[in-house]
Each structure stands twice: as structure tokens, then as C-alpha cells.
Structure 1
Amino acid sequence: MRTLAALLALMLVISVSAQHGPTPVKCCDSYSSHVIPIGKVVSYFTTSSSCYQNAHVLKTVADKEFCVKPDLHWVKKIVDKLDMRT
């Protein structure tokens, strides 16, 4: 009987976890107007295609994130540098 109760409890936890799905998509409402120094950026990612605006999100050594336009020259240099590391 305990085994059955434990199995049902486990199934309940799994089903509740599955309903929440993956973490939400990060989208940018606006672009940062600051030029971030290339030495301060440690990583980046591109926002989802389901977002209203296409953007790169730059993450700095201070663990801050900045939404930037991907077509800017200085952004392309940072992205190229980071891509060369991996």
C-alpha cells in the first residue's frame, strides 16, 4: 500500500513539473544605448525568434545583461570575439 502511495505521489510531482514547461523566453523591450567595452563581456545569446525585437543580450563580468542591436558594428566585433573562443 505504501509503495502505491509513493508511486502516486511521484507521478503527481512529475505531472505538475511537466505542466510548467521550460523557462520563459527572454525578450528585450528596448535596446541599450551604451557601448559595452569588449573586455567586460563574458557571453551573449540571441533572443528568440518569437520575440518582437531581434536582439543580442550581452552578459558582463558584473553579471549584468544588456539588450543590444545585433547589426551594430561594435556588437558584431564582440560576438565574433566570443564565437572564436568556443
Structure 2
Amino acid sequence: MKTANILLLCMLGATLLSTVLCQHSVGPDECCFKFFRFPVDQNRISSYFMTDSRCSLTAVVLIGKRGRNICVDPSQPWVKNITDYLDRNSF
């Protein structure tokens, strides 16, 4: 009987420890899982950033002047135009 209780206590301890360790894992802050398909007016965008390389999709996140984030495909020509425009006008 004591062996079963000790085994149960060890299993409970291992479960609690793994839960705590998983909550403090380091991973990407923001990833995109689907893209906005339609072109966006570059005058409505204030900045952009690339998603982390650990994300499943490589994406550009456009940040609107009202604070809205839009995930877009970096291979699209209109996205490249916006990022180039923002790069030129950021200084």
C-alpha cells in the first residue's frame, strides 16, 4: 500500500513540475497562420516586422496607424512595395 502511495505521489510531482516548466518555455511572441490576401493602402501602414524564424510560416506583419496587425505574404509584390516604401521613409 505504501509503495502505491509513493508511486502516485511521484507521478503527481512529475506532472506538476512538467506543467510549470512548460509555461516558462521560450518561443516566438507572434506567428501568422494565414495571410491577408488583398493589397493594403501603404498610407494606412505605420511600420512592419518579420515573424520569427521559429514560426511555421514566414510572414510580414504590417502595423496599421490605428494599431491593427495584418499578416501578409512577403513574396507578394505589393508587400515588397510597402516594405520598401516604409524603409525609405523611416529615416
Q: TM-score, normalised by structure 2?
A: 0.66
8 Å contact from structure 2 (residues 48, 61) kept in 1:
yes
1: CA distance, partners of 2:54 / 2:28: 11
Q: Is the 8 A contact 2:28 2:55 kept in 1?
A: no
Q: Which residue of 2 aligns with 1:60?
A: 64
Counterpart residue number, 1:33: 37
> In the alignment, is residue 72 of structure 1 matched against residue 76 of structure 2?
yes
**Unpaired runs of at least 5, structure 2:** 1-23
Unaligned runs of 5+ in 1: 1-19
**How many residue pairs were aligned?**
68
CA RMSD of aligned residues (A): 2.0
- Return the offset for 1:21: 7.9
Moved more, 76-85 or 42-51: 76-85
Runs of 4+ deviating beyond 3 Å: 20-24
SS in 1 for 2:32: coil
1:8 equivalent in structure 2: none
2 CA distance for matches of 1:71 and 1:24? Answer: 21
DSSP-derived class of the 1:57 partner: strand
CA distance in 1, matches of 2:27, 2:44: 27
Q: Deviations over 1:1-32 (max 9, x none)?
A: xxxxxxxxxxxxxxxxxxx5878520001001
Measure how far apart 1:49 and its partner are.
0.2
Question: Residue 43 of structure 1 corresponds to which residue in structure 2?
Answer: 47
- In terms of Rg, which structure is larger? 2
Q: Share of identical aligned residues, percent?
A: 34
